[in-house]
Chain A
Amino acid sequence: MKPGRIVIVILLIWSLGPLAWQLYTSFCTDQALVMPFASHDQRWTLAHYQSVLTSNPPFTRYLFNSLFAGVLSTILTLLLAIPAGYCLSKLGKRSALVIKCLLIGCALFPYVLLFLALLEIARFLQLGNSLIALAIPYAALSQPLAVLLLASAFSDLPSELEDAARVEGLTILQRFRWILLPLISPAIASTAILVFLFSWNEYPIALTWISDSDKLTLPVAMARIAGSSIHSVPYGPYAAATVIGSIPLILLVMIFQKPIVSGLTTGAVKG
C-alpha cells in the first residue's frame, strides 16, 4: 500500500470510528453493553430507538426545532450580509481594511463569553423561549464570516460588468437580481451552509435562552439527556439519539462538501 492510502484509512478510522461505536451501542441491549463477551439471549435491540422516538416530546421535535432556527438564521444572515458585503467590496482600500480587521476580530472572539449579556438582552426584550428570536443572535454572530466571504466574492467580479448594466439603465435592485446575485451564487451557497451549520450546532445561547422542553434545539436536548448526574447517563438511548441526530448532518456534509470546503478555504485565504 502506498503511504497516502494508509493515511487515508487511518483518517477514516479516526474520524468515523467513534461514530461507528455509537452506532454499535445504539443497537445493543443493556446487558450486551455491560457484558459484551458473555452470550446473551438477545444481543440486538431497537428498544433504544423506540424510547427516543416515543418520549415526550419525541426526539424528532428537536431536529425540527434546530432546522427551523437554522433556516431562519441563515435567511436573516444573508439578508444582512449580502448588502454589507457588496458595500464593503466597493469601499476604498483603507476603510475596507479597517472594517475587515474589525470583522476578523469579531470572528476570533470566543462568543461564549457574551452569553450573560445576551441573556440580559433576551430578558429585557422578552425574547426568551422563542426559536424565532434565536435567529437574531445567530445572525449577528454569523455576520463576520458571512460579510467577509460575500465581500470577497463581490470584489472578484469584474467591475465592467456592473458598469455596463448601469449604462443600460438597470437600477441597483435589478442589477442585484439579474447580474450580481447569480454570479456570486456559489459564495452565497457556501455562506448559507456554514451559517446553517453554526446555528444548528450552537450551544451556549440556546442553552440560556430556551427552557421549554419542546422548544429545545438539538445540542441542548442532547446535553439535557446527560442530566446532572455523571453516573446514570442512559447510554443506549443516548447513542440512538446521537445516530438520529447525526444523520441529517452527515447527509448535509456529503451533499454540500464542496461549498463547505470552498467557503472555509476562501475564508482562510482572504482572511
Chain B
Amino acid sequence: MLMLLIPSLLFLIAVFALPLIRYGWLSFHADSVMTGLIAIPNQGANWQRFIHDSRYWQDLLQTLRFALVSVTAEVILGLAIALILNQPLRKRALIRSSSLIPWALPTTVMALGWRWIFNTPYGPVDRLVQSGLGHSLNALGEPSLAWITTVYADVWKTTPFVALILLAGLQTIPSDLYEAAKLEGAGPWICLRRITIPLLLPYLGLALMFRLAQAFGVFDLVQVMTGGGPASSTESIALYAYWNAMRFLDFGYSATIMIASFVILSSLIAIAWFVISMARKRSVGALAE
C-alpha cells in the first residue's frame, strides 16, 4: 500500500531535498570559472563574502518591498472584488474566464508587453503622461518608478486570481449569519468586521502565504521586463542568484545565495504562520463571545 506513495516521494526528494543538500555543500566550496568549474573547499569564504555583499542585502530589501506591496494590494483589491462579485450574477462564466486569463498567460509573454506599454516615449502610459503633465515619465528608466511598474504588472496578473480564491471562501459563509446580524441591527461595516473577515481568515491567510512565498521568488517578471535595472533597482534575489550562476559562472556563490535565501524565507514564513494563527485564534475567541 505504501509502495504507491514511493515514486511520487522519490521525485519530490530529487527535486527539493537533493538541491538543498547540494547547495549547502556547494556553499562551502569555490566552484567557478576560476577553478575550472571544479568544487574546491574554501573554508567559508563564500559565506564571508555573502555577509558583506551589500548588493545581496539591497536585493533582499527590494524583493521584500516588491512582495509586501504587491501582495497587500492584491489581497485588498481581491477582497473588494470578491465582496462585490459575491452576489447572484449573470455571465459568471465570462467574468471567471476573463479574470483567469491574466493569471494563465506565461509571465514572460506579458512582461515584454508591459515593457511596450510603459515604453518611453511611445507606450500609451507615457503618451498619457506627456499630454497631461507635459513631460515624459520614463517609468522604466527611473529607479524610483521602475519597481512600481513591476508591482503593477504583478498585481495585474494575480489580483483576479486572489479574488477567485476569496470568492470561494465567501461562498462557504452561511447567509443566515448575516440575516441574524441584520436583525440585531448590525450595519454592513460591522458585518464585514465581525463575520466576513474572521470567517474568511483561513482563505486570506492561505492566499497571503502563497502569494508572499511566490513573490519572494520573483524571477520571470523582472528578468524579462526590466532585466533587474535600472541600476539594479528591480533586481530580486532570485535574479541575482541567476546572474551569479549563468553570467559570472560562480556556482559556489550562487548556491550560497540560494541556500541563505531559503533559510530567510523559511523563517519569514514561520513568523507569518505564527502571526496568522494567532489572529485566527483571537478571532475565533471573539466569535465565541
Contacts and interface: CB of A to CB of B under 8 A. Distances in A.
A25 interface: yes
Which DSSP category, helix, strand, loop or mixed, fits chain A's interface? Answer: helix
Nearest to A114: B19
Contacts of B87: 4
B22 A120 contact: yes
Given A112-B217, A116-B251, A223 B223 contact: yes
A250 to B, nearest CB: 6
B12 A249 contact: no
Contacts of B216: 110
Interface in A109-140: 109-121, 136-137, 139-140
Contact of A225 (B5, B112, B241): B112
Contact of B108 (A80, A106, A220): A220
Contacts of A189: none
Interface in B126-145: 127, 140
Contacts, number: 239
A12 B23 CA distance: 44
A112 B219 contact: yes
B107 interface: yes
Nearest to B224: A223
A72 interface: no
A68 interface: no
Contacts of B85: 4, 7-8
Given A21-B124, A113-B261, A87 B2 contact: yes
27 contacts: A19-B101, A21-B113, A21-B124, A80-B7, A83-B4, A83-B8, A84-B5, A106-B16, A108-B209, A110-B213, A112-B217, A112-B238, A117-B18, A147-B8, A201-B107, A203-B108, A223-B111, A230-B140, A233-B112, A246-B101, A249-B105, A253-B97, A253-B104, A260-B100, A261-B96, A264-B165, A271-B206
Q: Across chains A and B, which 10 residue pairs bring their CB atoms closest together, nearest first?
A: A110-B217, A117-B19, A84-B8, A265-B168, A83-B4, A140-B15, A87-B4, A140-B11, A219-B106, A201-B106
Interface of A: 3-4, 7-8, 11-12, 14-16, 18-19, 21-22, 25, 33-34, 36, 80-81, 83-84, 86-88, 90, 99, 103, 106-121, 136-137, 139-141, 143-144, 147, 197, 200-201, 203-204, 208, 218-220, 222-223, 225-226, 230, 233, 235, 238-239, 242, 245-246, 249-250, 252-254, 257-258, 260-261, 264-265, 268-269, 271
